[in-house]
Copies of this chain bind each other. A is one copy, B any other.
């Protein structure tokens, strides 16, 4: 099947899918159900078809793990060492996705024995060079969220400033000052006050904010630089 005519047999795509829930950053892994890597955990991946672009291929892989659309998905890096794939020469293009874990309905693909979220600081051993891909992608994400407002993709559409803080703490793996963090973000004028409040919490309800891509783009035009 892998050698069929409609796929490029020297090239694959692998996706690092990040999720966030309750102060924890997660990554989605699949357990292979067939082939020589049977039983091993790995990044969701697939071959590239001749009639799809690499972005479309990555998108297809993402869809195969879930039913929700409109997800943040970007190319990360291409891995092409000689020994990375034992059977034959295969180069893989790694993508990464940021998803709202609550809305993400998992379902394993036909060749997968299992699908599961793992805390990023506690991942199992993985097939091929996937551990290396994952680790370097995580440190890439760490850098990226400080220079571009993409973290919001990991949160619900409406979120509190504490959730945002905890997201950054999870990704950067360090404590941040709550008060200063609030001020920094509010001052950017990037967040929209939804005028709504948290529901069903056993303490003072926090304001819910949302992130508006359009506002960000307008700020960009004015020379705004996002920095955390």
Interface residues on A, range: 20 to 34
A96 to chain B, nearest CB (A): 13
Q: Is A50 an interface residue (CB 8 A)?
A: yes
Using Cβ atoms and an 8 Å threshold, which residues of chain B touch A48? 80, 91
- A160 located at the interface, meaning its Cβ lies under 8 Å from any Cβ of chain B in the complex: no
B91 contacts A54, C-beta separation under 8 Å: yes
Is A77 part of the contact surface with B, judged by Cβ < 8 Å? yes
User: CB distance B93 to A80 under 8 Å?
Assistant: yes
* A228 located at the interface, meaning its Cβ lies under 8 Å from any Cβ of chain B in the complex: no
Nearest chain B CB to A17 CB, angstrom units: 19
A91→B77 CA distance, assembly (Å): 14
- Are A82 and B52 interface neighbours, CB within 8 A? yes
Counting chain B CB atoms within 10 Å of each CB, the highest count among A80, A81, A143 belongs to A80
Q: A40 an interface residue at 8 Å Cβ cutoff?
A: no
Is A132 on the interface with B (CB-CB < 8 A)?
no
A8 proximal to B (CB < 8 A) = yes
A51 cross-chain contacts in B, Cβ below 8 A: 82
Interchain Cβ contacts under 8 Å between A and B, 13 examples? A8-B10, A8-B91, A10-B11, A48-B80, A50-B89, A52-B82, A53-B80, A53-B81, A53-B82, A75-B77, A75-B78, A78-B78, A147-B147
